[in-house]
Amino acid sequence: DWTHGWRGFGQFWVVHQDGTAGDRCMECDNWEIDYMVTPFSDPVVSNFTLVSNGNNDAVRLRHGTRGSLYNGLVAGSGAGDGIEVSDTSSTWMDQGLLLVKNTDVFNFGTNWKNCAPFENDATNGTADPGLNGYVGSAAGGVDPTTLDPWFSAGTFKGAVDGGDDWTAGWTLPL
């Protein structure tokens, strides 16, 4: 989750939601009490894989957050929503200040909720790349070093490239 004006960078995020706990993989806010408080949350995140338990939304962008999500895989397994935008964050989406690009959202009751600009973006899709747990990737990502030199290079969608599982040997099995 992010909130309270966070304006940083993130890369190679993996969330595998527990089947019995947790209501979202990502909940992205500016400020809950006053959505227009500055500085606005406005992070840039690239190469993320979110595996939802299927019962709720995987990603909720709300409470005035801004930000940019690139190169994502968002996997569902039920009736929940993939990515949902609500309240004043819809205004930022319509103005291009909240972005989701090069991201595939699949196997939800509703893949894209209240976010037609993201759903209709040609870089986004609903193709299932056949993840093995959280490992796997899809072609069609943007090289995030073009966004900021902080990022590591790569042109795949997802956090863990199927041919280069950087989590092997140090993560616990799911």
Report which secondary-structure segment, H or E, holds 93.
helix 89-94
Backbone dihedral angles phi then psi of residue 160, each to the nearest 5 degrees: -125, 100
Span 80-88, average pLDDT: 92
Span 87-99, average pLDDT: 93
pLDDT category at 68 given cuts 50, 70, 90 is very high
- CA gap 119, 105 in Å, rounded: 9
Q: pTM of this prediction? A: 0.93
The domain ranges of the chain are: 9-160
pLDDT category at 106 given cuts 50, 70, 90 is very high
135 has a pLDDT exceeding 80: yes
pLDDT category at 116 given cuts 50, 70, 90 is very high
Closest CA to 93 of 57, 71, 60: 60
* 90-94, 108-112, 169-173: segment of lowest average pLDDT: 169-173
pLDDT category at 100 given cuts 50, 70, 90 is very high
Long-range contacts of 109-113 (CB under 8 A, 24+ apart): 109/76, 109/78, 109/79, 109/80, 109/81, 110/81, 110/82, 111/76, 111/81, 111/82, 111/83, 112/82, 112/83, 113/57, 113/81, 113/82, 113/83, 113/84, 113/85
